[in-house]
Chain A
């Protein structure tokens, strides 16, 4: 079993829909990242959070440390949001700042 599990693996939405991507982890963490990866490989860090909630534009990320769960929400989705969204955690037992990644959620937003 992977230490970081994401759901769903694939998600197709219509433009304007509210989208939720979930991330569950089984280890103690010091921080959780949400990343966006477009075709061609480039990765953009969206959020780093260790508690509560963060918002940036149409993106909202929440984390529940007790339940070991995080969600990424996209409001008023747009075709340009189509990408792979990856959850990654910093495991507290490991040294340094290595990230352990989920397998990603492929999001397709149709016009």
Chain B
């Protein structure tokens, strides 16, 4: 499978714990995006990378959130000290430049 893959698919955690999600983009795609989607809503932009550089971050990305793409390939999104409001689907997408974005299946986070 050469699509965008995300791991894990589901994560259940207790409030206050740290979680980390991984996204592997399509191999030749230089841009990688993170979005968050809560139930019944459309996705919201969190951040994006061009190669290893994080070029834009949303105001939604509080200090508890950090994203990396160290070698310009896979990316990780870490949430520290999780809160119940962090419960959502976290979506990753990749693209070649400004071309069409291809989405992964998402990681569903439940904070208890």
Which residues from chain A sit less than 8 Å from chain B, CB to CB? Answer: 4, 30-31, 33, 35, 40-45, 48, 86, 88, 90, 94-104
Min CB distance A30 to B, Å, is 8
Distance in angstroms from A96 CB to nearest chain B CB is 5
Name B's A-contacting residues (CB within 8 A). Answer: 31, 33, 35, 37, 40-45, 48, 50, 55-56, 58, 89, 91, 93, 95, 97-106, 108
Interchain CB contact under 8 A, B55 and A103: no
Question: Main SS of chain B's interface residues?
Answer: strand
Which of A4, A99, A102 has a CB less than 8 Å from the CB of B101? A99
Q: What residues of B have a CB within 8 angstroms of the CB of A40 in the complex? A: 105
Bound-complex Cα distance A95 to B55 (A):
9
30 contacts between A and B (CB under 8 A): A4-B42, A31-B98, A33-B101, A40-B105, A41-B37, A41-B91, A41-B106, A41-B108, A42-B104, A42-B105, A43-B43, A43-B103, A45-B100, A45-B102, A48-B100, A94-B56, A96-B50, A96-B55, A97-B31, A97-B48, A97-B95, A97-B98, A97-B101, A98-B33, A98-B45, A98-B48, A99-B35, A101-B43, A102-B42, A103-B41
